[in-house]
Structure 1
């Protein structure tokens, strides 16, 4: 859908047409051209035919202009959520955002390495981490720390063996690389798999976190990432936050997934209160990239933990310090 943004911008920059002036000038030009193209003795006889031809020739031009205006208007509505007739703007639905991202994810390129590059910040300190994984299981991890502590290197890269620990996945804790690469590409089957492998104490957010893991962190195929987007589109209570930006200023669509779970019963006979948590994503639907993920929990616990994703996907870029 973002591929159509230049068309919308071009259309919006043009001055409003004057339909009656365009029609009048086209008609005069067409009539003059037709009159000059026939002998004088036949002009009177063909005047009616000329007017008919003029109307016939104008109609396709107006049809094309109208189609262009309608198409540009449709793009504007799709991008901004505005309603026809100048109504108030509305954000795209969460389902629309996720399905658009799924369509782009399906055609994402492949490469030699599965690569994730992400950053976390706290105050003035930022740590950027990178991970590369090959199909045969080789793995590299690297980091760069803007404010390392005493005796800690500012940047390092290591070659390791095996996947990093994965406490949350659609296959349960710590899946194998081969199993991740063979996940089903049907959204319903993928969600059912996550539900079946969720631990009893996983909480209501486990399945959503497992699906997001396939989008932002875990090595898998483009079609599986597309299925994860489509599975998330069926998550109850998912909200669209409209157009927003991540901490680096990159534009995207905001999404929120909110969960509630009963707390331990209180000593009083009053009903047990509920604890709430929320996962927020910023998604670039044009590239299917998750730009940022923020986890928020109830007051008194973790308030705001944000990961910014600089890249997630397959690449031929060799491992290096980010």
Structure 2
């Protein structure tokens, strides 16, 4: 497999619209311009790891604070939005996307008191400052849809077949070198190549059906990247044990900050959680701040279905 210069397969769009996946590569984005013929970028031959189920499946819960307060008068409060996202992908690259908006609810105990003083509304059409919104304290029915397009897996600008994903380098240095070359094929400026590699590595811990050896290489490679710190073992929101990694993205101004925290199950080498905190001018920026809990990642034989309530 060599890195490609032009899209050799049609684009596959799933349109989930979540800030939580801004750093997570999705299926079927178009490959970017690059080298026409680069035999030195070919992956070494390897025995293809067989699929262990009908679908590679991820199930995540995304939460964020709504950027504007709700309520009226002195009874103003912040609310938390919640969304379930599931993705099933067959080894042939056929995919199904499940989405369900869960109940909007007051963020804290103090917010709940203000919400009760405001009459305990279960629907909101306006924010406290008059902006139009559509929020509900009840979960919607959800949906599951087939993703249109040809089947490939997207990694660092390249569209890979299942077999090509299995052949990715299973050592940290080799994997970083492959991703760095892919970044240069994308014509990423040299001073941003490391950041591009760092952003691509977590995709191998969740979204792609890579062998465990490749996932382990991705984790080990992350530990060597600029801006990445290991904070040791922690418990996630579900009580699972993993290693927390803190990733600081370079910002043009010191008043700005984007920090991503990952919790990785280092036994299975998969993501348990991904949280992002963003500040602009030293102040919290809710639009780019979220928490994401990964309920499931791995192979399944269960058919795609509307996401069940947690």
Question: Within 5 A, what are the aligned runs for 1:111-260?
Answer: 111-122=53-64, 123-147=79-103, 149=134, 154-162=141-149, 171-173=155-157, 175-178=159-162, 179-198=164-183, 199=186, 200=188, 204-260=194-250
- Aligned pair in 2 of structure 1 residues 204, 165: CA closer, same or farther (>3 Å)? farther
- Aligned pair in 2 of structure 1 residues 287, 225: CA closer, same or farther (>3 Å)? closer
The answer to which structure has the higher helix fraction is: 1
Q: Determine helix, strand or coil for the equivalent of 2:250.
A: strand
In 1, Cα distance between the equivalents of 2:223 and 2:229? 10
Q: Determine helix, strand or coil for the equivalent of 1:205.
A: helix
Deviation of 1:124 (Å): 4.2
- Aligned pair in 2 of structure 1 residues 163, 212: CA closer, same or farther (>3 Å)? farther
CA contact (8 A) 1:139 1:163 kept: no
Normalised to the residue count of structure 2, the TM-score between the two structures is 0.55
For structure 2, the 5+ residue unaligned runs are 1-48, 65-78, 105-133
For structure 1, the 5+ residue unaligned runs are 1-106, 264-272
Residue range with higher mean Cα deviation, 297-306 or 139-148: 297-306
Deviation of 1:132 (Å): 0.7
In 1, Cα distance between the equivalents of 2:271 and 2:301? 20
Q: How many residues align?
A: 204
CA contact (8 A) 2:152 2:160 kept: no
Task: Note if 1:295 corresponds to 2:272.
Answer: no
Superposed CA deviations along residues 249-273 of structure 1, whole A, max 9, x for unmatched, are: 433321112232445xxxxxxxxx5
In 1, Cα distance between the equivalents of 2:80 and 2:251? 35
In 1, Cα distance between the equivalents of 2:57 and 2:167? 18
Relative contact order, CA 8 A, sep 6+: which one is greater?
A: 2
- Aligned pair in 2 of structure 1 residues 144, 237: CA closer, same or farther (>3 Å)? closer
The answer to which structure has the higher strand fraction is: 2
